[in-house]
């Protein structure tokens, strides 16, 4: 009883001490995003069938800390530590997602860390299903890697890059330049000198967002050979409740057996309907071309190697932070195509058509 009686006195004494000056602002934030899915794939060209599965899927739920400190004039220090959180199975890790330290001022933003490439980030918001099973990364970007260096994933152009240095210029009339360099640290462990170079020119003003992005993967497939990707995107807010987006992409790989190229297209519509919004997405990947006999990521060269993806769903907000959602997504592979969902893939064989129906919940904090 005496210890309890002394507690108010102790708290009063502590409150009388002078408070230390704050070194900056710190924000705790996060996103919890998961769903129950019924997924299946049709029979493949060779007659194999995966059947169906009911599963709980995680859509890259995250939590993180970020902050900034004023350094005088327009200059400030920025930092962020973002971590993945899988509420479906309890797994996770510290600083496994966008994490950085940098400086921002009148001349732009410079940072180093572990971050989405400019090529990836420039059109992420164009896809209303990013980053879920239905995300456009099945066709745009040739798969998605949540975290990779220059040798772990050598196929995907939708990626978060380890050991990356980035610069983002101030806006000039709504336009800014984003540059990224994935440092060639793997040179000491592999017989080549792999590195990544990424750039995006982004215009964002009023109802219009547009971008041209380009990325080089140096020596990813083999020494002396570079892969590259070009992407053009545009998004426009037509009315208060209507937004349309479109993306064109050209991928070019240079493997030991020759060149491999492919064009892909994506379009989306978000239309307010009632308290929520209808969300439509459509993707098209053309046949792969070139002399390469390799399969890189989801695509290869030859006839009947193209695919389409269609997604339709509804997002219903319960509050500004919480929403329920439902969607159906299907990839239609041609006879020799092996496209699969980029997140929560099913592992399909050539000609099989993966599809999923999801009921989920999302919360931001």
* Both tokens assigned to 354: 């993966």
With respect to residue 131, please indicate whether it lies within any of the assigned structural domains. yes
Residue 9 has pLDDT above 50, yes or no: no
With respect to residue 360, please indicate whether it lies within any of the assigned structural domains. yes
Contact present, 36 and 54 (Cβ < 8 Å): yes
Residues 6+ apart with CB under 8 A from 279: 128, 129, 268, 269, 270, 271, 311, 312, 313, 314, 315, 327
Q: What percent of the chain has pLDDT over 70?
A: 94
Q: What is the pTM of this model?
A: 0.91
With respect to residue 25, please indicate whether it lies within any of the assigned structural domains. no
* Both tokens assigned to 183: 């440092």
User: pLDDT tens-digit profile of 15-68?
Assistant: 444 444 445 899 999 999 999 999 999 999 999 888 899 999 999 999 999 999
User: Which has the closest alpha carbon to 306: 335, 341, 342?
Assistant: 335
Predicted confidence band of residue 7 (pLDDT cuts 50, 70, 90):
very low
- Look over the chain and give the mean of its residue pLDDT values, rounded to a whole number: 93
Q: Which domain holds residue 150?
A: 32-364
User: What's the whole-number mean pLDDT along residues 244-251?
Assistant: 98
With respect to residue 15, please indicate whether it lies within any of the assigned structural domains. no
User: pLDDT tens-digit profile of 162-203?
Assistant: 999 999 999 999 999 999 999 999 999 999 999 999 999 999
Backbone angles phi, psi at 239, to 5 degrees: -135, 180
Number of structural domains found in the chain: 1
User: What's the whole-number mean pLDDT along residues 108-134?
Assistant: 98
Q: What percent of the chain has pLDDT over 90?
A: 88
CB count, 10 Å around CB of 273? Answer: 12
Distances (CA, A) of 244 to 147, 248, 323: 29, 14, 21
Residue 119 has pLDDT above 70, yes or no: yes
With respect to residue 16, please indicate whether it lies within any of the assigned structural domains. no
Q: How far is CA 46 from the centre of its chain?
A: 33
User: pLDDT tens-digit profile of 253-275?
Assistant: 999 999 999 999 999 999 999 99
CB count, 10 Å around CB of 20? Answer: 6
The enclosing domain of 83 has a CATH number of 2.40.160.10
With respect to residue 10, please indicate whether it lies within any of the assigned structural domains. no
pLDDT of residue 24: 84
pLDDT of residue 73: 94
User: What's the whole-number mean pLDDT along residues 150-160?
Assistant: 98
Residues 6+ apart with CB under 8 A from 362: 31, 32, 33, 59, 322, 323, 325
With respect to residue 169, please indicate whether it lies within any of the assigned structural domains. yes
Residue 23 vs residue 325, higher pLDDT? 325
With respect to residue 2, please indicate whether it lies within any of the assigned structural domains. no
């Amino acid at each position: 009883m005496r210890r309890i009686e002394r507690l108010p006195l102790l708290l009063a004494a502590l409150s009388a001490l002078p408070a230390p000056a704050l070194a900056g602002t710190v924000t705790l934030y996060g996103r919890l995003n998961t769903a129950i899915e019924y997924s299946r794939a049709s029979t493949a060209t060779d007659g194999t069938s995966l059947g169906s599965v009911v599963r709980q899927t995680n859509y890259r739920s995250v939590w993180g800390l970020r902050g900034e400190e004023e350094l005088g004039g327009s200059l400030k220090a920025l930092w962020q530590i973002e971590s993945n959180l899988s509420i479906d199975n309890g797994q996770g890790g510290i600083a496994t997602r966008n994490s950085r330290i940098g400086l921002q001022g009148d001349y732009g933003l410079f940072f180093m860390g572990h971050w989405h490439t400019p090529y990836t980030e420039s059109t992420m918001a164009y896809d209303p299903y990013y980053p879920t099973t239905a995300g456009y990364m099945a066709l745009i970007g040739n798969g998605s890697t949540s975290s990779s260096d220059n040798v772990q994933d050598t196929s995907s152009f939708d990626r978060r890059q380890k050991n990356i240095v980035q610069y983002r210029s101030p806006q000039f009339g709504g336009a800014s330049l984003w540059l990224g360099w994935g440092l060639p640290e793997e040179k000491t462990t592999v017989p080549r000198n792999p590195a990544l170079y990424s750039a995006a020119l982004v215009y964002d003003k009023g109802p219009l967002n547009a971008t041209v992005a380009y990325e080089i993967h140096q020596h990813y497939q083999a020494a002396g050979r570079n892969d590259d990707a070009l992407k053009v995107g545009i998004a426009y807010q037509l009315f208060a409740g209507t937004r349309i987006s479109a993306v064109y992409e050209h991928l070019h790989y240079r493997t030991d057996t020759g060149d491999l190229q492919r064009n892909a297209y994506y379009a989306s519509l978000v239309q307010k309907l009632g308290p929520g919004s209808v969300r439509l997405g459509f993707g098209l990947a053309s046949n792969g071309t070139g002399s390469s006999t390799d399969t890189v990521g989801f695509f290869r060269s030859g006839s009947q190697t193209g695919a389409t993806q269609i997604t339709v769903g509804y997002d219903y907000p319960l509050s500004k932070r919480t929403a329920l959602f439902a969607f159906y997504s299907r990839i239609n592979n041609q006879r020799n195509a092996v496209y699969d969902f980029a997140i929560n893939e099913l592992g399909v064989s050539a000609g099989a058509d993966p599809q999923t129906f999801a009921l989920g919940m999302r919360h931001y904090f």
